[in-house]
């Protein structure tokens, strides 16, 4: 199977940090021209931009909660490129709230999380659909979570968001083919700063109870994303789990 992505254009939302940054690096190494999506960390995005091998890379500001920002980002990408081969929806946020504390999860936070983590990725897909169709053999990879089907995670709102991503991806896979494939990657706890207060020691303790007893690194998840891009050409509406087997518990 050809792993060479030379000539391919890739957009990674949340591409300057964590799983998104690891994916941006792998895409660049494979030869793709990468558009690094970021929200507020422009310095971090520029640092990563300088580190990427190859050329043709760029950064793109994008605020998922802001419809105008999503449209503006899409318009800027359309003005620079005649097609988009790869879209990785990695951006999102969460706030740890114990599931039993229903009062702490107020309507405002619930709305913010649903807008950023569900409406946001959908809006990006909707706005970039023409460019993805122009590529004729393009792929969307949505970053989901085992929380979406286990019902456990940083908060009930986050669980709901990832369940929505799973089912939305199934629907999109049905209607966007044959030109566009849509798949999900579902990690568990990953060694990033995504969840406040979850340091490496906590991850190590968590991993000890998993079948593989390994901490999942951002690169492990990025490899799963890359598999959908470079190898699994006949997969759409699929989900790949990357969590050291913790979901089995």
Q: Bridge partners of 38?
A: 61
Greatest Cα pair distance in the chain? 52
Instruction: Please report the pLDDT score of residue 1 as a whole number.
Output: 45
pLDDT digits 0-9 by tens, 131-166: 999 998 999 999 999 999 999 989 999 999 999 999
Q: Average pLDDT of the chain?
A: 94
pLDDT digits 0-9 by tens, 41-91: 999 999 999 999 999 999 999 999 999 999 999 999 999 999 999 999 999
* Topology annotation, domain 9-248: Rossmann fold (3.40.50)
Those residues with Cβ within 8 angstroms of residue 100's Cβ, 6 or more apart along the chain or in another chain:
none
Average pLDDT in the 215-224 region? 94
pLDDT digits 0-9 by tens, 21-35: 999 999 999 999 999
- Tell whether omega for the bond before 66 is within 30 degrees of 0, i.e. cis: no
For the chain, give every domain's residue range. Answer: 9-248
Instruction: Please report the pLDDT score of residue 2 as a whole number.
Output: 56
Long-range contacts formed by 67-73: CB under 8 A, 24+ apart? 67/123, 70/120, 70/123, 70/124, 70/127, 71/123, 71/127, 73/37, 73/124, 73/127
Answering whether pTM is above 0.85, one says: yes
pLDDT digits 0-9 by tens, 182-215: 999 999 888 787 776 777 878 787 778 888 989 8
């Amino acid at each position: 199977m050809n792993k060479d992505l030379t000539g391919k254009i890739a957009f990674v939302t949340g591409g300057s940090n964590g799983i998104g940054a690891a994916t941006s690096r792998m895409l660049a190494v494979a030869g793709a021209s990468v558009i690094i999506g970021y929200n507020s960390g422009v310095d971090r995005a520029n640092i990563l931009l300088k580190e990427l091998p190859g050329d043709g890379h760029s950064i793109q500001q994008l605020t998922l909660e802001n419809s105008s920002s999503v449209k503006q980002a899409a318009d800027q990408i359309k003005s620079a490129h005649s097609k988009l081969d790869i879209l990785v929806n990695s951006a999102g946020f969460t706030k740890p709230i114990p599931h039993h504390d229903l009062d702490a999860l107020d309507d405002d936070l619930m709305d913010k999380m649903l807008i950023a983590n569900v409406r946001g990725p959908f809006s990006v897909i909707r706005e970039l659909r023409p460019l993805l169709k122009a590529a004729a053999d393009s792929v969307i990879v949505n970053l989901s979570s085992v929380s979406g089907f286990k019902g456990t995670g940083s908060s009930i709102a986050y669980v709901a968001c990832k369940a929505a991503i799973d089912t939305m991806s199934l629907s999109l896979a049905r209607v966007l083919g044959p030109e566009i494939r849509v798949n999900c990657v579902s990690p568990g706890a990953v060694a990033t700063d995504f969840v406040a207060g979850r340091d490496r020691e906590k991850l190590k303790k968590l991993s000890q109870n998993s079948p593989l007893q390994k901490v999942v690194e951002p690169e492990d998840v990025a490899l799963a994303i890359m598999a959908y891009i470079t190898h699994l050409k006949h997969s759409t509406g699929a989900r790949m789990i990357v969590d050291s087997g913790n979901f089995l518990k």
